[in-house]
């Protein structure tokens, strides 16, 4: 997925902001050569973190379960080497090799905002405000997921999501919640926190932000893969969320592991853009297992046997992009 095809080339870039504002590393649709990441000796996220979710717009319970199961799988026990398939936890374990690494992520609260309390069009400042509604603190990562009909500045035109840091303060009114979902509360005090935004691209740009489950708009037009959870948009969300979480823990505040200028860094997964299995090349994601019953492609198994397709991650031990298969 390099060269001219522009099919989901996820490169993290920092946007300059004023003090106290968000400092996003965005998923940009550009191609880059292979790189070696440098440790800039800034702070990494280490220890135990809860990942709190805010669902902005309408999502079905089945769609929310795809992301929730992925997050639960990050901290699930890693199967033995004799297991029939690689695990999501084994993929995440690579982040612990980024010294002094080892961030253990677990699923935290989920908040619903189906009424689009900030409107259908969001800016980066709006995303930071939504993340602040999750009462963020140093032991949590806030994740905002936007529905297919929500317009976010730059979404599809230049990026598929971002991870950032911001300063929390007393927030505005909470979004509406559904039964069984904890309501957001105002944040008390101030503190730096990391957050992630990812959009469901099913209606706006699946060829850019849900590849290889949809044909790209440009470049080689090989048949798309069948998505493992029968939802192109949400399986694309998992790929992008995995990419952003890896960047958030290994370069949360712009001084961790990356290659290139701080304003446009390549990070843990974006240094390996477009690679999902062995033998990958531009326009071809690599050799992947295929479910005999559904025809779906995947490379990782999570809780309750749920399957996912996860991108390659740069491994500090080998200085190479590492795939699960």
Cite the DSSP H helix spans in the chain: 61-74, 88-92, 124-132, 206-209, 232-250
SS (H, E, C) 197-235: EEECCCCCCHHHHCCCCCCCCCCCCCCCCECCCCCHHHH
- Please give the Cα distance from 101 to 233 (Å, whole number): 31
Q: What is the pLDDT of residues 144-156, one digit of tens each?
A: 999 999 999 999 9
Residues above pLDDT 70, as percent of the chain: 80
Model-level pTM?
Answer: 0.85
3-state secondary structure of 52: strand
State mean pLDDT over 253-264: 92
Do residues 128 and 21 make contact, with C-beta atoms less than 8 angstroms apart?
Answer: yes
Q: Does 167 or 213 have the greater pLDDT score?
A: 213
pLDDT value for 20:
39
| Distance, CA of 182 to CA of 184 (rounded, Å) | 7
Residue 27 has pLDDT above 80, yes or no: no
Please give the structure tokens belonging to residue 198.
């990812």
Sequence ranges of the domains in the chain: 35-172+190-322
Residue 6 pLDDT grade (very low, low, confident, very high; cuts 50, 70, 90): very low
pLDDT in tens, 61-116: 999 999 999 999 999 876 655 455 799 999 999 999 999 878 999 999 999 999 99
Q: Confirm if 309 and 283 have CB atoms less than 8 A apart.
A: no
Tokens at 104, concatenated: 């253990």
């Amino acid at each position: 997925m390099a060269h001219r095809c522009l099919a989901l080339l996820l490169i993290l870039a920092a946007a300059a902001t004023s003090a106290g504002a968000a400092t996003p590393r965005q998923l940009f649709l550009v191609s880059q050569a292979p790189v070696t990441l440098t440790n800039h000796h800034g702070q990494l996220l280490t220890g135990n973190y809860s990942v709190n979710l805010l669902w902005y717009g309408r999502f079905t319970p089945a769609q929310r379960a795809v992301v929730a199961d992925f997050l639960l799988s990050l901290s699930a026990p890693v199967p033995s080497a004799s297991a029939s398939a690689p695990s999501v936890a084994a993929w995440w374990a690579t982040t612990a090799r980024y010294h002094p690494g080892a961030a253990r992520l677990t699923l935290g609260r989920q908040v619903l905002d189906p009424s689009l309390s900030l409107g259908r069009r969001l800016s980066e400042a709006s995303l930071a405000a939504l993340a602040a509604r999750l009462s963020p603190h140093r032991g949590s990562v806030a994740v905002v997921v936007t529905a297919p009909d929500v317009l976010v500045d730059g979404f599809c035109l230049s990026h598929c999501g971002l991870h950032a840091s911001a300063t929390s303060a007393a927030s505005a009114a909470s979004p509406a919640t559904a039964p069984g979902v904890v309501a957001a509360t105002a944040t008390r005090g101030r503190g730096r926190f990391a957050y992630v935004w990812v959009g469901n691209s099913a209606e706006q740009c699946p060829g850019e932000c849900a590849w290889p489950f949809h044909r790209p708009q440009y470049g080689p037009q090989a048949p798309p893969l069948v998505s493992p959870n029968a939802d192109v948009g949400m399986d694309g969300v998992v790929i992008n969320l995995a990419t952003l979480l890896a960047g958030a823990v290994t370069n949360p505040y712009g001084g961790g592991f990356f290659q290139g200028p701080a304003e446009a860094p390549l990070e843990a997964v974006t240094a390996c853009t477009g690679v999902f299995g062995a033998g990958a090349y531009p326009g071809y994601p690599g050799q992947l297992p295929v479910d005999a019953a559904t025809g779906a492609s995947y490379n990782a198994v999570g809780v309750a046997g749920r399957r996912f397709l996860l991108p390659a991650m740069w491994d500090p031990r080998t200085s190479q992009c590492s795939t699960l298969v």
